Structure formats: structure tokens, C-alpha cells
């Protein structure tokens, strides 16, 4: 082959290789450009956390567990200190009014009565002697046998002696009362709910000996968390079911709401009175209490994280059905606390509200509902 023709073929081959290289480079950039466009489209759609607005009346239907308790429950104790020698009733005993429940050793109290009686007798004897002396000296003053000052001293002694007699009488009466306090009697008819002391035990005045559940109306007692206590009111109606009588439903009303939370559980004690509780319902039985809000309340309760505030204007982000862009909806609040806001005007039940990251959103951004999965 001539050299010139070989050179021409070699040059043509180089051109073909160069063109193939250019084409390959162009093709390699096409997928990257497509991925880049798709990434840009994906980045423009932001997942947002949504919640559906519900009326406050729907959220106010509450249920609590509790148990039956007596309306009046008394701690019984001795009014004096001593050693228990008799305990005459046990837990669960049915008792009547003025029934003897327990007794202390009364020996020290009988000795106190004897001592007080002796002191009274001595004071009375002294008073009688001073009274006789006073009567004699009054006649002597008239004839000048003694001075008026001596008579005045004798009259002062008489008044002091009378005061001593009165004090001795009071000590005797108190000793007799203390003796009567060595017997513990029931102040009312009822049931012994708990025995808190035993025979032979030395107790001080006021130490609980028995817990008495007095006869009468029984109630249901529940403990309500502090974030729900404001939804209950005195006189509010409740529906009650007993675990042992699940086929029956009873009606009750809130009678008492504690104003101070329990320091350990941070709950508030609430008592519900029941008017139609049957006799088969015993103290301590488990109960479930349902509170139904009969008032129609169209206010909406939302998490406080849904609140968007700029200056004095309050608003929330709303995602309309089928839309990809958010709407900033001005709202009027009726209540706000550390956890929730209550919306009086501006949104309707059933609308979807953004509850997170509200200050990083814009109405021009395309959004979708977050499905709960992390990227």
C-alpha cells in the first residue's frame, strides 16, 4: 500500500475515534442531567406533620378508674395516753352507736382520782377553818381587840383558800373525765374498715386505733391528672359502671374536687355521689367513671407547636384537601397553656393543620403529609 493512502486511512480512523469519544461523553451526561432534575423536583416537596382538627367537646369525654368509698370515714382514737388491754372488734365488724370498741388500763387514772379527791378534801378543811376564824375576828374588830388590817389579811386568806378549793375540784373533775376516756366508743353506726392497733400496745393521745366507715351514702373516688382536672366541675354528671356489676350503669354527680394535688402522684382527688347504688355494692369495689360533655363546643384544641405568631397576629398552617400548598389561616384563640391552644375562630373541624416546624414554612412550598418514616 502506498504511504500516502495509508496516511489518509489513518487520519480517517482517528476522526472516527474522536467522534465516538465525543458521542460517549454526551451520552454519559444525559442520565446525570435527568437525576439532577429529579432531585430538584424531589427537594421542592416537603413532608409536614399534620393533625386533624377536632372540637373540644369531643376531646372532653373522659374515663377514670376508681373505687367505692364511704362518704364519711372517721379515724377513732383515745383522748388520753395508755396501754390497750382490750380490743373488742375486728376489721369488717358492724357496730352501733356508743358501742365499746377498746379499753385502756385505767389503774393510773383511778389513782389520779384518789389523789385529786385528797387534795380537794384538804382544801375544803382549810377553807372551813379560815371561815370560822374570819367570823370570830369580825366581832373582835368592832370592840377594838384586833386591827382592821389583821381582818383584811384574814379575808384575803379566805378568798385564796376558796380558789384552792375550786382548783382542787377542777382537778378531780378532769381526772374523772380522763378515766371515762379510757373506754373508746363508736361515735356512729358503721363498719370497721381498718384496725390500726393491738392489745398490749402503748399509745399516745390521738393515735389512730380504728378507721370507721359510717353508715349512709357511699361514693366513688377517683384520681384525676392535673392536665384534665379543669375539665371537671362540681355537679357534673357522670356514668358509672362497677366491675362486679358490669351489666348495670349508675348515674352520679361530682360532689367534691380537691383543690390541692397529691404531692406524690400529682393527681387531684374527686368524689362522685351515687343516689341509686344497690346494697350489693360493697366498699372498695372497683368502678369506671365516664364523664360525657353534653355541651356542644365548636372550639378546636391543637398542640401549641401548631401556633404561628408574627407580632400580635396568631395563625396556623392549613393544608386543604387535594392541595400541595399550605394556607396561612389567621385564628382567634380563647385559651392557651404550655401544651395546647384552643381556637375559637378561624378553622373548622376536619381540617388538616401543620403541627411542627411552622416557622420554616411558606405558602409557595409544595408539601405532602408525613408518613412517619424517617428519610
pLDDT at 67 over 80: yes
Residues 279 and 222 in one domain: yes
pLDDT tens-digit map of 36-51: 454 444 457 888 888 8
- Cβ atoms of residues 273 and 255 within 8 Å: yes
Domain that holds residue 344: 48-57+297-369
CA distance 239 to 229: 17
Do residues 110 and 242 both lie within one domain? no
Q: In this structure, is residue 327 part of a structural domain? A: yes
Per residue in 207-258, pLDDT (tens digit) is: 999 999 998 888 999 999 988 888 888 999 999 999 888 788 888 999 999 9
pLDDT at site 32: 47
CATH number at residue 221: 2.40.50.100
Nearest Cα to Cα of residue 255 among 39, 71, 54: 71
**How far, in whole angstroms, is CA 231 from its chain's centroid?**
13
Last residue of a domain, one of 129, 147, 181: 181
Indicate whether 22 belongs to any domain. no
For the segment 257-300, what is each residue's pLDDT rounded down to a tens digit? 999 999 999 999 999 998 778 878 888 899 999 986 555 456 78
Give the span between the Cα atoms of 193 and 208, in whole angstroms: 12
CATH of the domain at 151: 1.10.287
Amino acid at each position: 500500500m502506498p504511504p500516502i493512502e495509508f496516511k489518509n486511512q489513518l487520519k480517517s480512523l482517528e476522526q472516527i475515534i474522536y467522534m465516538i469519544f465525543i458521542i460517549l461523553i454526551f451520552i454519559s451526561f444525559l442520565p446525570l442531567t435527568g437525576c439532577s432534575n429529579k432531585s430538584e423536583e424531589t427537594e421542592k416537596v416537603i413532608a409536614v406533620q399534620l393533625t386533624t382538627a377536632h372540637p373540644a367537646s369531643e376531646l372532653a369525654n373522659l374515663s377514670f378508674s376508681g373505687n367505692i368509698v364511704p362518704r364519711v370515714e372517721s379515724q377513732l382514737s383515745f383522748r388520753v395516753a395508755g396501754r390497750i388491754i382490750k380490743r373488742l372488734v375486728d376489721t369488717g365488724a358492724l357496730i352501733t352507736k356508743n358501742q365499746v370498741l377498746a379499753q385502756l388500763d385505767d389503774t393510773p387514772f383511778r389513782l389520779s382520782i384518789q389523789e385529786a379527791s385528797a387534795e380537794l378534801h384538804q382544801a375544803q378543811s382549810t377553807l372551813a377553818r379560815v371561815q370560822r376564824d374570819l367570823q370570830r375576828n369580825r366581832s373582835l374588830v368592832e370592840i377594838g381587840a384586833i386591827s382592821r388590817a389583821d381582818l383584811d389579811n384574814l379575808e384575803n386568806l379566805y378568798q385564796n383558800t376558796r380558789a384552792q378549793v375550786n382548783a382542787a375540784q377542777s382537778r378531780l373533775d378532769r381526772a374523772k373525765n380522763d378515766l371515762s376516756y379510757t373506754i373508746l366508743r363508736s361515735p356512729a353506726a358503721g363498719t370497721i374498715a381498718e384496725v390500726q392497733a393491738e392489745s398490749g400496745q402503748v399509745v399516745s393521745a390521738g393515735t389512730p386505733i380504728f378507721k370507721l366507715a359510717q353508715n349512709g351514702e357511699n361514693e366513688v373516688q377517683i384520681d384525676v391528672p392535673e392536665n384534665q382536672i379543669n375539665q371537671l366541675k362540681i355537679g357534673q354528671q357522670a356514668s358509672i359502671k362497677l366491675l362486679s356489676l358490669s351489666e348495670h350503669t349508675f348515674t352520679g354527680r361530682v360532689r367534691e374536687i380537691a383543690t390541692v394535688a397529691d404531692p406524690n402522684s400529682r393527681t387531684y382527688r374527686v368524689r362522685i355521689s351515687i343516689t341509686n347504688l344497690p346494697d350489693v355494692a360493697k366498699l372498695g369495689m372497683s368502678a369506671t367513671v365516664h364523664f360525657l360533655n353534653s355541651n356542644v363546643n365548636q372550639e378546636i384544641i391543637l398542640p401549641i407547636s401548631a401556633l404561628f405568631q408574627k407580632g400580635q397576629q396568631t395563625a396556623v398552617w392549613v393544608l386543604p384537601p387535594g392541595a400541595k400548598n399550605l394556607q396561612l389561616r389567621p385564628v382567634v384563640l380563647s385559651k392557651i397553656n404550655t401544651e395546647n391552644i384552643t381556637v375559637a375562630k378561624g378553622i373548622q373541624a376536619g381540617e388538616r393543620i401543620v403541627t411542627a416546624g411552622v416557622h420554616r414554612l411558606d405558602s409557595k412550598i409544595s408539601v405532602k403529609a408525613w408518613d412517619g418514616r424517617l428519610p
